[in-house]
Structure 1
Amino acid sequence: MVRNEVDGGVAVLTLSNPPVNALGADLRAALDRALAEAIADATVRAIVIAAEGKVFVAGADISEFGKVRRRPLLPEVLARIDASPKPVVAAIGGAALGGGLELALACHARIAGRHAKLGLPEIKIGIIPGAGGTQRLPRLIGPETAFAMMLSGEPVGADRGAELGIVDAVVLGDLVPAARVRALELADAGRLPRAGDRDDRLDPEARAAFEARAADAVTREPDAPNVRALAEAVRACFDRPFAEGLAAEQAAFAPLVDDPRARALRHAFFAEREAARVPGLSKDTPRRPIETAAVIGAGTMGGGIAMCFANAGIPVTVIETEEAPLQRGLERVRGLYAGSAKRGSITEAERDARIGRITGAVGLENAGSADIVIEAAFEEMGVKRAIFSELDRIAKHGAILATNTSYLDVDAIAAVTGRPQDVLGMHFFSPANVMRLVEVVRAEKTAPEVLATALDLGKRLKKLPVAVGVCFGFVGNRILERRSRAAERLLLEGALPHEVDAAVTAFGFRMGPFAMSDLAGLDIGWRSRKDFGGRAPVADALAEMGRFGQKTGRGFFVYPDGARAGQRDPEVEALIARTAAEHGIAQRSFTPEEIVARLMYPMVNEGARILSEKIASRPGDIDTIWINGYNWPAWRGGPMHWADTVGLKTVAADLERFARETGDDSQEPAPLLKKLAEEGGSFGALKAA
């Protein structure tokens, strides 16, 4: 796992633990042995640590967390590097993340390739750096800057890393020769630069800047133990010598590993990675080339999808039926890009390049040369079937035909074509140019290479694609419909809109269901229910009154003078009471805990049905969809993981009670949930379908 080659007085230790050189126990032990050998070898004057592949080290092996870890532990390996009498230089050819960057920071110098990424993302999985990152990085680049970098968890590129002082140099060619030269320079210089010696960065002015940023971070996330722990660990840089600071970091790190939030975030991390693997779809499945695209519809969704292609460097044609809506859509896109350039998130040159990749056209015949066509027209089956019937005639052989429908039957859409094998769903989430999630809907006759191509395309567009099956609403919206139904029932039973929203935001969502409905527009759900024969007595009555939410200043809440935050409305509360009386429903008060259970347990139940029907391959796919598409708090791990933490016996028993109390048979525990509850099982233990 570590190749040791000595030449010209330099031992080059090359890590090889594909695919990302994670610092698991075997690699740590191999590296520790190679370091000891190189230090003891009289012919070796200096050491370079390099790595095979496109990644330097992507971090520790987090699958070891929560288990008995084998020695040497990473801090012990890094202590050997730090104390080495011979210079050790890191040659960072790709991503150095988490423990990978901590490994590089323990070295006496760092040489980076132009594509290197440097970061400490531990905050995103509920922990903090635990192998010296909180002590070495502040001494290298300053405590405020280091704290901000660890708090965001976002990596920086090689050039920015050089500006900050994380790396000594960025080279365009072969890294190892440059690292060898630097290592020999340090050997000739005598005294080695060690991170623990850089207390010159810890003056009173630096402390004041750090304390201000730390206080703000803790205030913003008072319930996040890892944020407070990160602040305490960096504070130890000022209050304790380096060795004691390392011990303080470990003391702060250890309890976080078993914290429920950290376990949930680790689950979310692994679930997202696992979602990329579709059961039954070989990694060797051929892919179709995607060099050009067409998007049908220049509305908000169509324009956002077109931006995704333009951002990825793929020319795209936006197609409308008339010139006026086309120009409005293109103007909206230009405005979004102008705003990005003004904020500095892209350069003016990049703005112009992206706009230049988007062409507008009137008429479906302009989709004829595209490698993929994505339909983003009105959510009505007749409209979509008419479009696909035309695309079947117009699109070139081998083109992928995708619908962005969020509810409709993709098999029924594919059936109007003579090439159903080329048809699938690509359900982008709004705004499409911002949201990561794409549900890739595999229809009955979708060819494997079409599915594989769509999944790869999603990654190319910097999205998070998750494969799902065909049903009404797929995974995300099907579960959302259950929550919406439960929320409406809560109103009739006596909970008020502001009480429901307060319980949901306290649970961790950024918005409650009724504020979200007002933001999206009550008319959207109203039209959808009329199309599909659904009924929501309170929401429908509000829509019939012209109360469409924020855009009309009135919905579940009122928005005086264009306010963004809604206020309680006695008219709505009186309407709810009248509607409940008309339906013969007795009203009572609910605790926040009861509200959460009545909203979330039906979602879990629907997730169990989705798994049984193989619409989703695994519980983690459902969690990934809800975290990335619907704002489920990541630190709760998604609805299926959260249900495991509550206990499936509790969930099933309460659902049985809800069904009895409401007379709603749909709340009876799904067969899979009931089986797991009876057996003492969990969703987390299920195998992929």
Structure 2
Amino acid sequence: MELGESAAYVRREVQARVLIATITNPPVNALGADVRRELVAAIEAAEADETVEAVLLVGAGKNFIAGADIREFGKAPRQPSLPEVCERIEQCQKPVIAAIHGVALGGGLEIALAAHYRLAVAGARMGLPEVHLGLLPGAGGTQRAPRLIGVPAALDMMLSGRQIDTEEALAIGLIDRIATGGDAYTHGLAYAQELLSSRAPVRRTRNADRHLTDRDASRAAIAAARADTAKKTRGLFSPLKIVETVEATLEQSFEQGLLTERNLFAQCMASPQRAGLIHAFFAEREVLKAPETRDAKPRPFAHIGVVGGGTMGAGIAVAALDAGLLVTMIERDDASLASGRANIAKVYDGLIARGRMSEQDKENLLARWTGGTTYDALATVDIVIEAVFEDMAVKRAVFSELDRVCKPGAVLATNTSYLDVNELAASVSRPGDVIGLHFFSPANIMKLLEVVVPKQVSADVVATAFALASKLRKVPVRAGVCDGFIGNRILARYRTAADYMMEDGASPYQIDKAIREFGYPMGPFEVSDLAGGDIGWATRKRRAATRAPDERYVQIADRLCERGRFGQKTGRGFYLYPNGSRTGSVDPEVEAIVEAERQRAGISPRTFTNDEIIRRYMAAMINEGANVVHEQIALRPLDVDIIFLSGYGFPRHRGGPMKYADSVGLKTVVDDIREFAKEDPVFWKPSPLLAQLVESGADFSSLNQYA
């Protein structure tokens, strides 16, 4: 391609001896094959033109380059590869300047690292987030970054995957200067001309060695990172490979280090963890699409009402305040309202104590909070969310008042975890305005928001719920109406499987340990203690009247609750929590209660291996996940995956329970269920969808699309 020819992805022009190569691949200038090819062509055109003395790389639109083109994931590689592009940029005989604005992430930052000089406009953000996809920077980033900014800073960027701002980037030497005001094009061109006027040389990052002269300090940083990573990442593959590639900068030449990087990158690509993490990446974007959001527009909202100032209500209020919304909270009396405000203030006081917020920030946020003790205070809110006690009669009484006072068009939302949203909607005069917004505690921190869609809801109310989730920085997942919706319905099933194993011979401590080793941060009995055993006890009592007479029922948790053992809040549950400790210790009294219940039930305990525990636990989870998809409570298997990744601590590198099922093979799961059914045919019944997929030779991933 000659200099004057048009280019679809990298626009070229010459201004004052500088060839300006503008990447134009909206919306984020992803590094697709066409962009890579035209970047190489731009460098070659600059070298072939005697009137050109430097090259400026700049991005069109809102970003420099946001990274790889995700549409190429899983497809056959196309030339030139990104490492070849970076090599071609670095080897250019004329100075190459990267002018960064918006974001430069992953391969986008690797392009900038290969350039000879780097400028960033104030507000730009840079990062190497490949670890979140089970990968490592594979275009020389692991070799160039340590040479440019030092081993500790490079390891921090790559192992955390975090984005850094321009001030930090300048401080560590990632960029050469910050430009304020104006655009990257103008500042970049001025910087290029300044470099030419000063006869600045070509400065290749591969030759930078200032940060590598103290080899002992660099080796100590690598040893510390390796130990810390092994401890924190619980068996994740790519983080330790990142440490290994960075170590190559000390032990190998640049060319050998690139070969090491490519070899370890290929190992990461072949890892099942990479497949799970990339599935999670795509699934988180896919759940943002729901049938109702295709055409319906969200209703405008700026003012949120919250009914209830307890832990959940306060958390919802904090999330809304943090998002810049007005919040009106109501409680039954002045003392309860003061307690609700104190619960909000306590969250902010904790941030102040950790140096993450100032007292003035707190006051500014709370200035958007108002409270009241009558429902009339909610007359002007756009969305109201009730967060009161989990009892249908109580919630119906609340909704009766909301129906009376809220303005026409206000969205009436319930935060119920289990109850029938259709029944609540039918109890008011405007069922089309009613929706479920199931937050997870603590609501200001947990990412997941189950959007529970009753049968009479208006499409624009669903769209509003998804827009609110975006505003609150939550991950919304559409759920149909049933007892427990998606997450808690499935949770009840695999928790029952855990209870059965406990009564049959596995201790709660062994089960928790096996689940942690699988990758969960906590096991089911630890989670019960954290949430409060009384919550599950209330649910079990509510369901007792409808429990099938032939269904096995384990009473161990009830025996603990009868003794006031509700978990961390009472200092004892399945574990002991002395002196307010958050870490539980084994309690012989619990083991005695378990043994007594086995004897009462006439069960002779047997041993379980950790593998058996995982097989049963996951089979119950997968089978019920298949049922909620079969019944269209969840739109697709990926919705189940994101529920468990975002709200239940499922190990992200496994991609979610349905992705995990695909990885082990659905036939294996069905075979396990049929084997377990020999001892308990009531509990272990293969889902019709699971059986159908096995029969047809398909898997869950084949269903991850709209009809």
Q: TM-score, normalised by structure 2?
A: 0.94
Percentage of pairs with the same residue: 47
Which runs of structure 2 are paired with 1:299-310 in the superposition (5 Å)? 299-310=310-321
Structure 1 position 297, deviation (Å): 0.5
Q: Which residue pairs with 2:444 in the alignment?
A: 433
Q: Which residue pairs with 2:645 in the alignment?
A: 627
**In structure 2, C-alpha distance between the alignment counterparts of 1:121 and 1:398, rounded to whole Å:** 42
Partner secondary structure for residue 661 of structure 1: coil
1:149 counterpart = 2:157 = yes
Structure 1 position 528, deviation (Å): 1.5
Query: Which residue, out of 571, 575, 588, partners 2:593?
Result: 575
Between the two proteins, the alignment pairs up a number of residues equal to 687
* Cα distance per residue 1:486-525 (max 9 Å; x no partner): 1111122111111111111111111111121122221111
1:684 counterpart = 2:696 = no
Structure 1 position 280, deviation (Å): 5.4
Structure 1 position 65, deviation (Å): 4.3
Contact 2:315 2:442 in 1 (8 A): yes
**In structure 2, C-alpha distance between the alignment counterparts of 1:400 and 1:592, rounded to whole Å:** 47
* Cα distance per residue 1:263-282 (max 9 Å; x no partner): 11111111111111224531
Contact 1:403 1:425 in 2 (8 A): yes
- Equivalent position amino acid for 2:361 in 1: E
Query: Which residue, out of 179, 185, 188, partners 1:179?
Result: 188
- Equivalent position amino acid for 1:115 in 2: G
Contact 2:485 2:633 in 1 (8 A): yes
**In structure 2, C-alpha distance between the alignment counterparts of 1:645 and 1:109, rounded to whole Å:** 45
Contact 2:230 2:240 in 1 (8 A): no
Report the aligned-residue RMSD. 1.8
Query: Which residue, out of 239, 251, 275, partners 1:239?
Result: 251
Structure 1 position 577, deviation (Å): 3.1
1:55 counterpart = 2:63 = yes
**In structure 1, C-alpha distance between the alignment counterparts of 2:402 and 2:28, rounded to whole Å:** 42
Which runs of structure 2 are paired with 1:507-656 in the superposition (5 Å)? 507-533=518-544, 536-656=554-674
Which runs of structure 2 are paired with 1:121-136 in the superposition (5 Å)? 121-136=129-144
Q: Which residue pairs with 1:229 in the alignment?
A: 241
Query: Which residue, out of 56, 71, 74, partners 2:82?
Result: 74
Query: Which residue, out of 414, 435, 440, partners 2:425?
Result: 414
Q: Which residue pairs with 1:317 in the alignment?
A: 328
1:45 counterpart = 2:50 = no
Q: Which residue pairs with 1:200 in the alignment?
A: 210
Q: Which residue pairs with 1:12 in the alignment?
A: 20
**Gaps (5+ residues) in structure 2?**
1-8, 548-552
**CA 1:307–1:113: 2 relative to 1, 3 Å:** same
Structure 1 position 663, deviation (Å): 3.3
Contact 1:66 1:258 in 2 (8 A): no
* Cα distance per residue 1:377-424 (max 9 Å; x no partner): 111111111111111111112111111111111111111222222111
**In structure 2, C-alpha distance between the alignment counterparts of 1:116 and 1:663, rounded to whole Å:** 59
Q: Where has structure 1 moved over 6 Å in runs of 4 or more?
A: none
Structure 1 position 34, deviation (Å): 2.5
* Cα distance per residue 1:364-389 (max 9 Å; x no partner): 11111111111111111111111111
- Equivalent position amino acid for 2:670 in 1: A
Partner secondary structure for residue 30 of structure 1: helix
**In structure 1, C-alpha distance between the alignment counterparts of 2:120 and 2:464, rounded to whole Å:** 33
Contact 1:279 1:617 in 2 (8 A): no
Range with bigger deviation, 218-227 or 400-409: 218-227
Q: Which residue pairs with 2:3 in the alignment?
A: none
Q: Which residue pairs with 1:89 in the alignment?
A: 97
**In structure 1, C-alpha distance between the alignment counterparts of 2:118 and 2:371, rounded to whole Å:** 48
Partner secondary structure for residue 444 of structure 1: coil
* Cα distance per residue 1:195-233 (max 9 Å; x no partner): 112101112264155234323333313623312211111
Q: Which residue pairs with 2:290 in the alignment?
A: 278
Q: TM-score, normalised by structure 1?
A: 0.96
**In structure 1, C-alpha distance between the alignment counterparts of 2:292 and 2:190, rounded to whole Å:** 49
Q: Which residue pairs with 1:22 in the alignment?
A: 30
- Equivalent position amino acid for 1:187 in 2: L
- Equivalent position amino acid for 1:577 in 2: E
**In structure 1, C-alpha distance between the alignment counterparts of 2:446 and 2:352, rounded to whole Å:** 19
Contact 1:276 1:465 in 2 (8 A): yes
Query: Which residue, out of 12, 22, 44, partners 1:36?
Result: 44
Partner secondary structure for residue 317 of structure 1: strand
Range with bigger deviation, 542-551 or 305-314: 542-551
Contact 1:580 1:587 in 2 (8 A): yes
**In structure 2, C-alpha distance between the alignment counterparts of 1:343 and 1:273, rounded to whole Å:** 32
Range with bigger deviation, 168-177 or 363-372: 168-177
**In structure 2, C-alpha distance between the alignment counterparts of 1:460 and 1:314, rounded to whole Å:** 9
Contact 1:144 1:206 in 2 (8 A): no
Partner secondary structure for residue 617 of structure 1: coil
Structure 1 position 131, deviation (Å): 0.8
**In structure 2, C-alpha distance between the alignment counterparts of 1:226 and 1:531, rounded to whole Å:** 46
Contact 1:110 1:169 in 2 (8 A): no
Q: Which residue pairs with 2:5 in the alignment?
A: none
Contact 1:66 1:257 in 2 (8 A): no
Contact 1:91 1:176 in 2 (8 A): yes
* Cα distance per residue 1:137-170 (max 9 Å; x no partner): 2222221011111110010122332333222223
Q: Which residue pairs with 1:170 in the alignment?
A: 179
1:382 counterpart = 2:393 = yes
* Cα distance per residue 1:298-336 (max 9 Å; x no partner): 000000110011111111111111111211121122122
**In structure 2, C-alpha distance between the alignment counterparts of 1:670 and 1:222, rounded to whole Å:** 32
Structure 1 position 584, deviation (Å): 3.8
Which runs of structure 2 are paired with 1:274-423 in the superposition (5 Å)? 274-279=286-291, 281-282=293-294, 284-423=295-434
**In structure 2, C-alpha distance between the alignment counterparts of 1:469 and 1:327, rounded to whole Å:** 36
Structure 1 position 561, deviation (Å): 4.3
Range with bigger deviation, 259-268 or 550-559: 550-559
Structure 1 position 22, deviation (Å): 1.7
Partner secondary structure for residue 185 of structure 1: helix
